[in-house]
Structure 1
Amino acid sequence: MLLKPFAVSKLVVVSAKTHRLAMEKETRFAGLAEQYFVGLEGGALQDHIDAQADRIGVRLRYRVRLRTFESICAAASDGVGIAIVPDTVARRCKRAYPLALTSLADAWATRNLSVCVASGRDPTPTVQALFDHLASA
């Protein structure tokens, strides 16, 4: 198997424009421990965020866990809590909701995304099209 990198994903904090974080350009994850969160019901990203909280000995306080990034951003924009989402999602949702975006300064907030492919074989045109799509998303 061979790892084929296709994108770098940066995580950001989204909040209501009236939240104190709205005035900050960047923050560290440890500084968010006292905040209420809106999170995902499950999945790799939520596991990653929870693992980072465990690593620094923090238990995040979730007001609600939702199924989609759009619903998370909508709830955050309404002041339900803050959320950590990929920057591409945050920028897209900012067009529909009054969101503030604050960069996470922690190194773990930048993720290198990869796909496993069989070594020694060139990807088919369909697989290559998928890689190209993922890299441009």
Structure 2
Amino acid sequence: MTIRWTLDDLRIFCALAEAGTMTAAAEQVSLSLPTVSARLRSLEDAFGTALCLRTQKGVTLTAAGQRLLGHARDLLEKAARTNEDVSDFARAPRGHVRLAANTTAVSEHLPELMARFLASYPKIDVALVEATSAEVVKQVREGQADIGIYSPNFAVPDLATFPFCDDELVLIVSVRHRWKKQTEIAYDEVLQEDQVCPQRTAALFHFLSDRAREAGRKLRSRIHVAGFDAIARMVAQGVGIAVIPGSAARRLQTLHNVRVLTLTDKWAENQLLLCVRDADELSPATTALLQILQQGVLQSS
């Protein structure tokens, strides 16, 4: 069925119903009197019935006109809401962003950045998943994640990458440990000691286990605990030693009275990068989050 009327026709009709006269309606919609009269005749032709009765005192709606008035008001209200709702995308992005990141990023760098982002964009939700760097890259590559944060221990030429931050991995020991006066140590020596480890599901635990396996060794895990604060407390009590991000170690060093040693292994430098599949094809919501993450780098540097 062909519709032979427009929202403007309905807007004029509602103005006529409210104003009561052709002249007042013409002034209300900023059109000439002949134009308003012609648009009313066009509406009546479209519906095949009279919509109002014209008298010297003004116009009175017929039963058909009253029925149309109710529908017209509903349609104009819905049109206004539609315009506002869709226009919101230009003013404030909305949607859902999938972010995959390794343990260091999730625990030490994202809490404040995500809080800032979610406060700034109340119509965007974020699904944050912790994974090993290899799994982060895999998820971004396969479209399971929109943005990834990973340690570049391998090349990813098929993804667009951006700097996020530098956060080296370090060793923490108790103030009573025999290494308390050392400033640096190789991971091969670390593997000779009992360790307090992240939970078995943590990306950092898998990363350290892989480094131990490469050295032909196995982590001597005395206990697995959640969170770097709990790890530092265990280390301070002499349960074992632990490898954690430098940002966490510096934050917890004084609080729990532990010593921090630099790891001499190249992989411990632990630069973090952002990655996306195609920077030119991101949704507005993903672009907004990527910008916040990049701004966080600039502010921290």
* TM-score, length-scaled by structure 2: 0.43
- Give CA deviations for 1:27-66 in whole Å, capped at 9, x if unaligned: 0011122210000013222111110100011111111001
Higher helix share: 2
Higher strand share: 1
* Residue identity opposite 1:40 in structure 2: P
Which of 115, 120, 126 is the aligned partner of 2:280?
A: 120
RMSD, aligned α-carbons: 1.9
Which of 230, 233, 242 is the aligned partner of 1:74?
A: 233
2:214 maps to 1:51: no
- Give CA deviations for 1:64-84 in whole Å, capped at 9, x if unaligned: 001101100111111110000
**C-alpha distance in structure 2 between counterparts of 1:87 and 1:108, whole Å:** 13
Q: Report 1:2-13 matches (<5 A).
A: 2-13=160-171
2:194 maps to 1:31: no
* TM-score, length-scaled by structure 1: 0.90
How far 1:125 moved relative to its partner? 4.4
Helix, strand or coil at the partner of 1:23: coil
**C-alpha distance in structure 2 between counterparts of 1:133 and 1:69, whole Å:** 22
Which of 21, 29, 33 is the aligned partner of 2:179?
A: 21
Which 4+ residue blocks in structure 1 deviate beyond 4 angstroms?
none
1:129 corresponds to which residue? 292
- Give CA deviations for 1:83-120 in whole Å, capped at 9, x if unaligned: 00011100001131111001100001111211123322
* Residue identity opposite 1:55 in structure 2: E
Which of 224, 233, 238 is the aligned partner of 1:65?
A: 224
Unaligned ranges ≥5, structure 1? none
1:111 corresponds to which residue? 270
Rg larger for: 2
